[in-house]
Amino acid sequence: MTEHIKRPLSLKIIAALFIVDGVLRILTMFVTRFQNSPITPIIGIITLFAGCGLLTLSSGWRTFILVILWFYMIYIPSIIAISIKYNIYKLTPVNTEIFQRPLFYIMAYLLCLFLFVLWMYRVLTRPEVRKLFTQKQTPKPQTEQPLTDQPTQS
């Protein structure tokens, strides 16, 4: 029987967010009937598996998510710096000619997103969470019959 391991609530929240993101991306793929880029369904499937991997305490999926978070920790400040330097207002993929958001709102959104990414990174690198992913489940010793070197007689 497998031993029940208590997972922190913050780890469950991060896993749930990745699972929800994956499900929403897959549903979006079916609603738009593959009109978007073909990379979206792949990302959706990967994030779905990554969230499930966090729940099963897979160290490989934890590493994958940490790599994604590192990407975001580099990408978001870069976007903020470029936006401020060049005074870029159009950071959204939608038509901004109808409604142009002020730069302040975009920066506030990106700052909140960056802080959220830092929180997720902190949760996944905390010593007690890291220990959950590095624990090797030792199998219980099985009672086996002793092996003999004597040949069987036929």
Cβ distance 47 to 64 under 8 Å?
A: no
Instruction: Go through 106-118 and write b for each residue having 16 or more CB atoms within 10 A of its CB, e for each that does not.
Output: beeebeeebeebe
pLDDT digits (tens, 9 = 90+) for 64-78: 999 999 999 999 999
Tokens in use for 2?
Answer: 């497998």
Domain boundary assignment for the chain: 9-91+100-134
Tokens in use for 5?
Answer: 């391991």
Q: What interhelical angle do 39-55 and 9-32 show, nearest 10?
A: 160
Tokens in use for 53?
Answer: 């991997």
If you average pLDDT over residues 143-149, what whole number do you get? 58
pLDDT digits (tens, 9 = 90+) for 23-45: 988 888 777 766 656 666 677 78
Tokens in use for 100?
Answer: 């142009």
Angle made by CA atoms 40, 73, 20, in degrees to the nearest 5: 40
Q: Mean pLDDT of all residues in the chain?
A: 80
Specify the pTM.
0.72
pLDDT of residue 54: 93
Calculated CA dihedral for residues 69, 91, 109, 27, nearest 10 degrees: -60
